[in-house]
Structure 1
Amino acid sequence: MAEEKKYVLYEYLVYFWKRKWLFVIIPLVTAVLIAAAVYILKADSRGYIAEGTVFTGNVNQKELTDPEIIEAKYQDVKGLAINVPERDKVKFTVKAKSNTEAEKVLDQVRNQYFTDLKKNAQLRIELTKKQHTSLEKRVETLDSNLALYEKRLAASDDTYDQEGYRELIGKSMDERYRAAERADKKEGDVALFSHPEILPAEVYKAKSYIPESLAIGIILGLILTVALLTLMKYLSDARKFYKEKGSFLD
């Protein structure tokens, strides 16, 4: 008797079709379980995120620009993260359960930080102005000295004294040039000083990862369903084969 030809793939497809409801139930259950696991494990992703940047301007003091030092100062603020995306900008990120809470905490932290920046900026400006005033006074003193040396040089008939006055005039002129140059620089520093500024903030809902979790769960569920049905079909065929032979492994 000729051996009966078998269409294994067709048999499996028919077997799967008869149990097609499993391709709905198992992926849905898997998707729900994975989404629930992600929801529980990623509890910090729920809620709202408020992001705001403060422009530090010409304030470059490390205590006010180093993110680790700033975070240490605001370590009691829950859900706060700080980074420096650019050299003159500090970004604050706050995670909270509600939109209002996230925005409120962000405003409090940024306003306090901005106050510290303004104090430092004002101190730098005042010190620079004092240095400018001191340099201007030094220039005035040198101008007076130069006028005196030139007057004495013109009135002196002694060659030795004349040489001494010329040397004093040369040194005074060099010092006056340097002092005037520094005074101009200090004046420019004050005029062109870049003041700190609070930039617009943004509040948005935190990413929940639920859609991604559901998609992954459905894909895994489909793979699991195919694997499970394949195993069930294999066991069913094996049981039928040994039953027809009258041989049982148990």
Structure 2
Amino acid sequence: MSTEKRDHLYEYVLYFWRKKWLLIGIPVVVALLAFGLSQVTSKGYHGEATFSTGKITLASLADPELLQANYSKEFGNKLTVEPMEKSKVKFTVDAKDKATADSILNKASAKYIKALQDNYSFRKKLTEEGLAGNKKMLAKATKTYNEIQPKLLTDGPNMPPEQYALLAEAVTKTEKLISDKNSSIIGSTYDLEEFEKPDVMKKDVSKQSNHAKANTIIGFVFALFLTILGLMLAKYMRDAREGRRHD
């Protein structure tokens, strides 16, 4: 029994050795075809630009769907706006050649970062102006308070009731105004400290991977498997026909 198994194994080894050119040739041809097809079907170039938008609330600059609609009018379907985590936006570009990908990505990026920085400058200027105005009003209110509050304490008891009531009301309103302006100043100061200037975090264009190496290896292995399977089937059928002739 053991001798019979060795004979069968020897037959298969000898058979595959005789068909070695098929075993080598077919997988190599398929691998070359897979490599060539990968090169031919290459998708071209892929560009990405990632932006830090800061704490922007304007929908036309922060909402990916609105950005896609607006920028598609100028750059078509080659440009895609992808949603990211808060305060970040990504532009992607797919084109057949590098020059086109570079051109679209650079123009779209320049337009978007300018819009972001213009909005940032506008919001910061408003906050700074509001802070300066509140500081002036605080100084004026503080001066008024320092004048009327001591007068209320010293002259109040000798004033007519109506005059005293008016002065007391003025002191109360001035105290509230001072408190409100202090709160506004603290809020504006915090806002200015938290302002983040928009910037381009990353921008590059690279050739899209055609997976030529992986496709070549897969093609070779798959073709080798099918070739071995086909040769084994062919030998089995040939042995079966010869067996019937002997019978």
Q: Same fold (TM over 0.5)?
A: yes
Amino acid at match of 2:95: A
Alignment partner of 1:209 is 2:178: no
Unaligned runs of 5+ in 1: 246-250
Structure-to-structure mapping, 1:99-138, within 5 angstroms? 99-138=98-137
Give the partner amino acid of 1:67: P
Aligned amino acid, residue 29 of structure 1: V
TM-score, normalised to structure 2, is: 0.82
What's 2:23 paired with? Answer: 23
Secondary structure of 1:5's match? helix
Alignment of 1:1-250 (within 5 A): 5=4, 7-35=7-35, 43=41, 45-75=42-72, 76-147=75-146, 149-150=148-149, 152-153=151-152, 154-156=154-156, 157-158=158-159, 160=161, 162=164, 165-166=167-168, 168-190=170-192, 193-245=195-247
Instruction: Quote the offset at 1:211 in angstroms.
Output: 1.2
Structure 1 position 163, deviation (Å): 6.0
Contact 1:59 1:196 (8 Å CA) reproduced: no
String of CA shifts for 1:116-153, please: whole Å, max 9, x gaps. Answer: 11221122123223432442343245335424532652
* Residue correspondences, number: 240
Residue 190 of structure 1 and its aligned partner are, at CA, apart by 3.6
Determine which structure has the larger helix proportion and give its number.
2
User: How far apart, in 2, do the equivalents of 1:78 and 1:108 lie?
Assistant: 15
Q: Distance in 2 between matches of 1:24 and 1:34?
A: 16
Kindly provide the amino acid, as one letter, of the partner of residue 24 in structure 1: I
- Displacement of 1:232 after TM fit? 0.3
Change (3 A) 1:205 1:151: same
Q: Percent identity?
A: 28
1: distance between equivalents of 2:90 and 2:182?
A: 40
Long gaps (5+) in structure 2: none
Q: Distance in 2 between matches of 1:11 and 1:174?
A: 105
Are the counterparts in 2 of residues 102 and 203 from structure 1 also a CA contact under 8 Å?
Answer: yes
| Distance apart, 1:74 and its partner CA | 1.6
CA deviation after TM superposition for structure 1 residue 59, in Å? 2.6
In 2, Cα distance between the equivalents of 1:106 and 1:91?
11
Query: Do the aligned partners of residues 15 and 177 (structure 1) sit closer, same or farther apart at CA in structure 2, a change above 3 Å counting?
Result: same
Superposed CA deviations along residues 71-129 of structure 1, whole A, max 9, x for unmatched, are 22222434323334443332222222222222221110000001111221122123223
- Do 1:95 and 1:102's aligned partners in 2 also have CA atoms closer than 8 Å? yes
- 1:248 is matched with which residue? none
Secondary structure of 1:57 counterpart: coil
| CA–CA distance in structure 1, aligned partners of residues 44 and 37 of structure 2 | 17
Change (3 A) 1:115 1:5: closer
Task: Tell me, in whole angstroms, the C-alpha distance in 2 between the residues paired with 1:227 and 1:191.
Answer: 71
Deviation at 1:182, TM superposition (A): 1.0
| 1:74 aligned counterpart, secondary structure | helix
Question: Is the partner of 2:210 in helix, strand or coil?
Answer: coil
Q: TM-score, normalised by structure 1?
A: 0.81
